[in-house]
Amino acid sequence: MTLARAFQWRNSLWGVGAGYQYNGTYEPYDWVSDYKPGDRLHLTGGVSSDLGNTKLSGDLTYLIYQADKQEGEKIFKDGNQLDLKGGLLYHQEPYSFAAHARYIIRGKDRRYGVPEAYREEAKNHGNDFRVSTSLSFQAGSKLRLIGQAEAKLVGENDYPSTDLLHRAASHIIGFGGGFNYELKDNYNLSVQLKSYQGEADGGNIDLSGLQMQSSLFVRF
């Protein structure tokens, strides 16, 4: 359930909201007793501003997690999170430029029902930073060319390097582009190709590769 309120002030649109997500109980496996993931509360606020050819937006969300339970006993609790986002859109025919950034600050997780030596709170996952940009050019009445770049960086978690739960920093960078082509008035073809370079867990996992995506949109 989510409640939100938006209002306009001059050339800006402001919004605030709050929501609660209830998670029901389920049976993960036949030999495991019922498990209930923790409920989640979120508080959010945002603003967007129209400056003619330029549009700016930003919002922040604070996520508050409740503890997971098994047989009524607390097992694990995700750390609370602060999620910040910002965006910029500039349009001047025949060009359009967009940039988006996101930063997720994660709190410490907590474990229950384990020996005292393992109860110390720590982040299972590091903070997360993401940025993406795109530049498009209207090459004709039906063809738009698009170039894209993106990056994602995740910091190492809180566990010591000798701990089995330790995960080192990860990053991935992608470049590519594609096109949108209007086949007919109600048919649109989109093709994108991206090349990725990156690694996870401090280089233990290679994330490099190619991604191709194509879509056909039909409007009725």
Q: How far is CA 146 from CA 69, 195, 213, in A?
A: 47, 15, 13
pLDDT tens column, 159-174: 888 888 888 999 999 9
Q: Residue 120 has what pLDDT?
A: 61
Q: Residue 116 has what pLDDT?
A: 56
> Which percentage of the chain shows pLDDT scores above 90?
72
Distance of alpha carbon 43 from alpha carbon 57, whole angstroms: 17
Give residue 21's Cα distance to chain centre. 18
Q: What is the model's pTM? A: 0.84
Q: Residue 166 has what pLDDT?
A: 87
Q: Residue 138 has what pLDDT?
A: 94
Under 8 Å CB-to-CB from 129, ≥6 apart: which residues?
A: 101, 102, 103, 104, 152, 153, 154
Q: How many other β-carbons are positioned within 10 Å of the β-carbon of residue 157?
A: 20
CB 68 within 8 Å of CB 37:
yes
Under 8 Å CB-to-CB from 214, ≥6 apart: which residues?
A: 189, 190, 191, 192
pLDDT of residue 118 exceeding 60: no
Distance of alpha carbon 128 from alpha carbon 164, whole angstroms: 21
pLDDT tens column, 126-157: 999 999 999 999 998 899 999 999 999 999 99
